[in-house]
Structure 1
């Protein structure tokens, strides 16, 4: 069986690459993956799979015709908050696959926000026609319940992604703290300046080494570059493309401060204390599910001392997830693998 994998792959986003790596890890052995990628050659080289250009219509058509199934890879693919066009790209692929008669699986989805009536109508009809559907949060589950569409609910599959050692990590001074910020309208210049001052104070108080960890180089690196001069020799920017090696960073840090959803999931799954800076409801859902401390960026304290004090307190006295809680989440995340086994069974 051949399955076409569709997601935000090959775009240099560590979270989406982690979803792809986990999907490949969970695919049944009888399934040959073909990945729609923004950088097919890199995807081929990194994962050893077939890949084709996600924006080439002839390549997409040929791939669909050569495959038996289409899998919407994990994440918030069907949402119209950041792009009105994006859900129609993914929706068009799914509609075409269903019309051709392929098995279709919506895997580990985070549905919404859906602000436009047309997008909601499209999403409802496409999810209803899928062979199998799994979602990663209660809000998505509630939407499918409202639409009377069967689904399975499980934690984000990246909880279960295998990690690999990060070369050179243990050569850096210890103890270490990882910081992952991303560009966003809520991270205004004044808030970035506040966070930078708070990081400097936090670093001096804890004598930690700060690892600035861009998850998407094109969007995150400039922010890391803006922060790094204030921290000087007590910090380093590290860019890692392999998502399993990226997850391995969190084996060697004491705490993670992050905006990126999958930076927090990776850190928490490796037993690292986490502090969230939320710009999106999906971060708040993770905070609620794991009792993770943090702030919405729009409600960030207005003085750097309050921020650094909260970080210092969590560094000194905060708790990582218990091993039992991590095991529970890993076991539950395996539901996404069972969906693939069932939906892609040979019949």
Structure 2
């Protein structure tokens, strides 16, 4: 059976070069138009691979993410929710559970990436076997099943999350208004700079910053990483990873001894590559993963996106005990890898592929 793949892309030429044969739908002319074209073209619309439902960053977030499912129903196509994350009840607007219940009932199959997401959907009436507990798809990067040799590198992925204030409109639209005023990022940048300076002054090791998100939908990680570096005393020990080169980006994570991260996938890719993550959590998805990986001791909740001083001590503890932490982490990771594979298995079973 010949299967064709399509994907939304902000750079169709580059996506096509990187993944030969894929059908690209250019979002530069408007995301909504691209989504409609893609759903009309496909036989199965796949949503997910990340946090599908939450209302903290914008009240438009959930409806927009669920739109392909409703369009698939409208155009008489099938749909599948792939390894999705679901925000916890305190992260959802009052009407969101009803919207989720209606939308996901239209899906031919559902897999979720963590127990917390499973529990929310179970509460909304979803059951096995149509809903399967899996794990994040990034855990299937099997090239990293054998740990790389570690260097004395501290990986860091700061993020400005002050935009997550439950506003009605998405950040990308709010920024276009003349009266838009961005929350002051300096307190958060200074907090991150203090954490990294404390480490650099003690160990004189290299620090590599990893800007995960550089698009327009949210705050640009590269801009915030630049700001953090500019506030550091030991800025000369810092260099940047290039997110436009995913293999090199991930390989560099695999070389880090410890990785302190706000983005969820900083923690996930650390576990994938056998690096110890320290998660500066800003949403339940971060804490859900760290608990899933048995790494609760290396989870710190950031207040309003500003990490507190306890991060310094946790990073130091992770650095000094990294080898033993990795040894305990690997068996758990291997189980998560097996669970992550369930998504593709469920997809094939549902559609008889």
Change (3 A) 1:260 1:62: closer
CA shift for structure 1 position 42:
3.1
2:23 equivalent to 1:50: yes
Cα distance in structure 2, aligned partners of 1:67 and 1:75:
21
Matching residue within 23, 43, 50 for 1:75: 50
Which residue number in structure 2 is paired with residue 176 of structure 1? 153
> Is the Cα–Cα contact under 8 Å of residues 228 and 237 in structure 1 kept in the other structure?
no
Unpaired runs of at least 5, structure 2: 165-183
Which residue number in structure 1 is paired with residue 84 of structure 2? 109
> Is the Cα–Cα contact under 8 Å of residues 179 and 258 in structure 1 kept in the other structure?
yes
CA shift for structure 1 position 316:
0.6
Give the structure-1-normalised TM-score: 0.80
Which residue number in structure 2 is paired with residue 276 of structure 1? 279
Deviations along 1:44-80, one digit per CA (max 9) or x if unpaired, are 2332211103435555444333321110031112322
4+ residue runs of structure 1 moved beyond 6 angstroms? none
Matching residue within 129, 132, 138 for 1:152: 132
> Is the Cα–Cα contact under 8 Å of residues 279 and 290 in structure 2 kept in the other structure?
yes
What's the secondary structure of 1:35's corresponding residue? Answer: strand
Unpaired runs of at least 5, structure 1: 2-29
Which residue number in structure 2 is paired with residue 23 of structure 1? none
Change (3 A) 1:276 1:57: closer
Aligned-pair Cα RMSD in Å: 2.7
Deviations along 1:265-321, one digit per CA (max 9) or x if unpaired, are 001111111111011110111121223212111197755xx5433322220124125
CA shift for structure 1 position 162:
4.6
Deviations along 1:74-129, one digit per CA (max 9) or x if unpaired, are 11123222122232223232112123222210111112356334332221011112
2:38 equivalent to 1:33: no
Cα distance in structure 2, aligned partners of 1:147 and 1:92:
19
Give the structure-2-normalised TM-score: 0.79
**Aligned length, in residue pairs:** 310
Which residue number in structure 2 is paired with residue 212 of structure 1? 209
